[in-house]
Each structure stands twice: as structure tokens, then as C-alpha cells.
């Protein structure tokens, strides 16, 4: 083959390599720019913007969002181990029910492995949901709890789309709203509006 179509094969190979190197370069430059590392800004980060950006650039922790409430630590371990050796997984919990509420933190030993998790695992379908892997400034005790007013994640209180994984409990204090609250899936605050 190479003797007959040698030139066309080598041109194709070169084009492939060019695509690969453009991709590699753009990924590398993306990961050097702290502003492009994550769109999320943690309002509870205990430092300056500069310190936050430095933490994002060096941390070995990633945040996983849009998870099913039924995904287990074992499943997460199996998936995220593909990017590298894992130091610890911390499940995100509803602060009232103490049950998983759709996020977690994965701590790697190496920065390269954390970058690979963001590059290659983000968007993977896990328990029928496309998970989002984001750089994180680093886990601290207390960050495992949902910060929403009802105990879970803030975003779940504002969602306007139907999410079959979200179970909405009845509001026993306000009986007149019970009919709205028995059907789960839409953001709780949105339902109240
Ligand atoms: N690294 O993207 C993230 C991320 N998120 C969304 C949460 N955490 C994240 N970490 C990284 N990247 O430790 C971390 C938090 C905390 C834990 C639980 O997960 O640092 P939380 O989701 O319950 O609370 O956090 P948080 O993050 O303080 O809430 P925030 O920033 O207000 O809102 C989260 C999302 O909810 C927003 O991105 C937005 O999509 C949605 N949202 C918030 N307010 C509104 C609103 N008024 N209207 C519409 N949508 C809203």
C-alpha cells in the first residue's frame, strides 16, 4: 500500500498529526489560562481571585455535577480510575436527608490525572446522565453539603426542566401547595413562583 499510495497516505497521516497537534496545543493553552479553566466561581472560597485562580491551576481535585442521585461511590471509582489513581472520593450530600444529591469531588494524586478527567471523562453518560467534570479549587470539610435552601444543590432549586431523578417532598407546612409539590422533577423555587 505504501508503495502505491505512499504519498496520499503520508499526506493523510500528516493532516491527522496536524489536527492532533492543534488539538493538543489548544488543550494545553486552555489549561494554562485560569479564566478558561472553569466558569464556576465558589462564593465561599476563602481568598482572593488570584489565589482562587492559582488553586484552580494546581489542584488535583475535580468536581462532578449532574450526577444521578443513585450513582454509587463504587461506580464513580470505576469510571474515574481510568484517568489515574484516586486518593479520595467525597459524595455530595443533601444536608437535611444526608443522602446523595447529584455531585461529588474526586481527588487524584496527580494534576495530570485531574486534567485527563476533565478532558476525557466530562460528558460521559453515567446512570443515563451526561456528567460534568469541572476543575475545583480543592476540597475542604463542609463542601460536601448541598447549599440549597432545601438541603440539596442550589441549581436543582432553579431548574425549569423536568428531572426524573429529583424527588420533591411535600410541603407539610403549607397544605394549599401540596398538589404542586407531589409531582417531583421541577425546581422547588420555580414551583413556588
Ligand atoms: N468546582 O460548577 C461547579 C460547582 N457547583 C455548581 C457547585 N460546586 C462546584 N464546584 C465546582 N464547579 O462545595 C460545589 C460548591 C459546593 C458544592 C455544593 O459543590 O462549591 P451548590 O451547588 O449546592 O451551591 O454547591 P453553590 O455552588 O454555592 O451554588 P451557586 O453557585 O449559587 O449555584 C450553582 C448553580 O445553580 C449555578 O451555576 C446556576 O447554574 C444555578 N443557579 C444558582 N442561582 C440561580 C438562580 N437564581 N437562577 C437560576 N439558576 C441559578
Best substitution site from 137, 155, 159, 189 to test ligand 1's pocket, by max atoms within 8 Å of Cβ? 155
Q: What is the pLDDT of residues 68-92, one digit of tens each?
A: 999 999 999 999 999 999 999 999 9
Burial of 15: CB neighbours in 10 Å, binned 0-12, 13-18, 19+? exposed
Q: What is the pLDDT of residues 50-69, one digit of tens each?
A: 999 999 999 999 999 999 99
Q: How many helices (H) and strands (E) does the chain have?
A: 8, 6
Best substitution site from 118, 147, 157, 191 to test ligand 1's pocket, by max atoms within 8 Å of Cβ? 147
Residues in the chain: 193
How high is the ipTM of this complex? 0.93
What values do phi and psi take at 93, rounded to 5?
-125, 150
Confidence at 45, pLDDT banded by 50, 70, 90 = very high
**SS3 state at 139:** coil
Any atom of ligand 1 within 6 Å of the Cβ of 132: no
Distance 1 CA to ligand 1 centre (A): 55
Distance 154 CA to ligand 1 centre (A): 6
Can you tell me which residue has the cell 432553579? 158
Any atom of ligand 1 within 6 Å of the Cβ of 154: yes
Rounded to whole angstroms, the Cα distance separating 148 from 79 reads: 27
Rounded to whole angstroms, the Cα distance separating 124 from 131 reads: 6
Q: What is the pLDDT of residues 140-159, one digit of tens each?
A: 999 999 999 999 999 999 98
Of 105, 115, 112, nearest to 65 by C-alpha is: 105
Any atom of ligand 1 within 6 Å of the Cβ of 95: no
Amino acid at each position: 500500500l505504501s508503495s502505491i499510495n505512499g504519498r496520499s497516505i503520508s499526506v493523510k497521516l500528516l493532516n491527522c498529526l496536524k489536527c492532533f497537534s492543534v488539538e493538543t496545543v489548544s488543550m494545553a493553552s486552555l489549561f494554562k489560562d485560569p479564566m478558561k479553566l472553569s466558569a464556576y466561581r465558589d462564593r465561599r472560597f476563602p481568598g482572593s481571585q488570584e489565589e482562587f485562580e492559582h488553586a484552580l491551576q494546581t489542584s488535583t481535585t475535580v468536581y462532578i455535577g449532574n450526577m444521578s442521585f443513585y450513582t454509587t461511590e463504587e461506580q464513580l471509582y470505576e469510571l474515574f480510575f481510568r484517568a489515574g489513581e484516586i486518593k479520595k472520593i467525597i459524595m455530595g450530600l443533601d444536608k437535611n436527608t444526608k443522602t446523595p444529591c447529584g455531585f461529588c469531588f474526586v481527588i487524584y494524586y496527580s494534576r495530570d490525572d485531574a486534567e485527563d478527567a476533565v478532558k476525557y471523562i466530562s460528558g460521559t453518560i453515567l446512570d443515563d446522565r451526561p456528567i460534568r467534570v469541572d476543575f475545583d479549587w480543592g476540597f475542604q470539610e463542609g463542601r460536601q453539603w448541598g447549599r440549597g435552601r432545601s438541603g440539596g444543590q442550589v441549581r436543582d432549586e432553579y431548574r425549569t426542566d423536568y428531572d426524573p431523578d429529583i424527588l420533591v417532598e411535600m410541603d407539610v407546612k403549607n397544605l394549599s401547595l401540596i398538589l404542586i409539590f407531589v409531582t417531583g422533577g421541577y425546581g422547588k423555587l420555580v414551583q413556588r413562583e
